[in-house]
Structure 1
């Protein structure tokens, strides 16, 4: 068998991992990965909608949700990093998988960067989903402390080896695939547009700075 990391003679049967990425632009690279995870979740769901006679959706929903949540996470981290740079801050992003904290931080930076009411429009649908998700993955410990296990789509057990919410639920835990595609196509578009916009602003600012520095040095 040939190596997995190898070429096919037909370029349309190849996946180029460093075609869209950039060696020197790490925020852009995070955007590319976020786009890939979100897109894969929606594409895989659409595949299930076309033909689910074998009930494959019951199995594929786990990687679908994992890819979705990871895509959201990376988008928010990329946007945080981008906004911090635009605001001349040294921070990048919170190193966690907590979507509630990440969207809160990203919204705060967005308002700091752009005080217009419509500046937060990208977050409305996404926040609705995150709030709903966290009601599902919430566990209250014996000491009253609340814990949220975002790994629910990766493992059937929590880190304390307790069953995830969909294992212990008496009634069926169901996701409407058609609604999923419609809803997250909008979320994906909002996130991607906002992230792309911030990347463009940062690039324009960097180019302007380089031009000014070049002009300054040419005068001496």
Structure 2
């Protein structure tokens, strides 16, 4: 059996993991990987929308959600790290895997960095769709018994949390449904806007020597 980490004679059938990354560019590397996670989520949705005769959407939705949420996490951490450097803070990445908390940190950093009301409003417009999604998501994953959701961001990786308590969709009697056409529209916008923000602060400020 051929090794997975090996060449194909057709260059278009190879994936080069280090062509777009650089050992000296940590934040840029995060953005590169982030694009891959968001792109894979979008591609999976497009393929399922094109052909769902076998109802594979019911199982492929889990990696779709995981990839999309992980992309959000990485984008927000890249933005946080960039702004922390610009603002001369000692932290790099904050918030573990709690993407709502990380988003709140990003909002705080943007408000601290941006001086004009217009720039702050522009950021809010670019992230309103993301904010709405996070509010919707956390209503689903929040553990109502103790008000915590630390272990529940893994809802798309495992059917239960670290205490083996079922995630929200397992115990729900009624159907828990995702409109994939709506998902495609929403996450295409979320991904585009987060990439715009991340690259704006990285290239227009940090690498420009602000």
TM-score (norm 1): 0.89
Equivalent position of 2:184 in the other structure: 181
Query: How far is 1:2 from its partner?
Result: 1.2
Question: How far is the alpha carbon of 1:95 from its aligned partner?
Answer: 4.5
Residue equivalent to 2:80: 80
**Residues 110 and 120, structure 1, Cα contact 8 Å, conserved in 2:** no
Partner of 1:44: 44
Q: CA deviation at 1:121?
A: 2.7
Which secondary structure state, in structure 2, belongs to the residue aligned with residue 205 of structure 1? Answer: coil
Aligned partners of 1:42 and 1:185 also within 8 Å = yes
SS in structure 1 at match of 2:207 = helix
Deviates more, 1:87-96 or 1:65-74: 87-96
Q: Distance in 2 between matches of 1:106 and 1:121?
A: 14
Partner of 1:157: 160
Superposed CA offset, 1:105-160 (max 9, x none): 0011011111322133322110100000000001123xxx2121100000011111
Q: Per-residue deviation at 1:71? A: 0.6
Asked if structure 2 preserves the Cα contact closer than 8 Å seen for 1:158 and 1:164, the reply is yes
Which consecutive residues of structure 1, in runs of 5 or more, have no partner in the other structure? 207-220
Aligned positions, number: 203
In 2, are the aligned partners of 1:100 and 1:130 still within 8 Å (CA)?
Answer: yes
Q: Is the 8 A contact 1:137 1:150 kept in 2?
A: yes
1:10-36 per-residue CA deviation (whole Å, 9 max, x = no partner) reads 111000110111110000001111111
Contact kept, 8 Å, 1:107 with 1:123, in 2: the verdict is no
Correspondence for 1:215: none
Flag the structure with larger Rg. Answer: 1
Greater RCO structure (CA 8 Å; 6+ sep): 2
* 8 Å CA contact 1:111, 1:120 repeated in 2: no
- What residue in structure 1 maps to residue 65 of structure 2? 65
RMSD of aligned residue pairs (Cα, Å): 1.1
Counterpart CA distance in 1 for 2:32 and 2:126 is 18
1:67-101: CA deviation from partner (whole Å, max 9, x where unpaired): 01111001100100001111122211214111111
The answer to whether the 8 A contact 2:42-2:188 is kept is yes
TM-score with structure 2 setting the length: 0.93
**Greater than 4 Å deviation, 4+ residue runs:** none
The aligned counterpart of 1:21 is 21
Pair 1:126 & 2:130 matched = yes
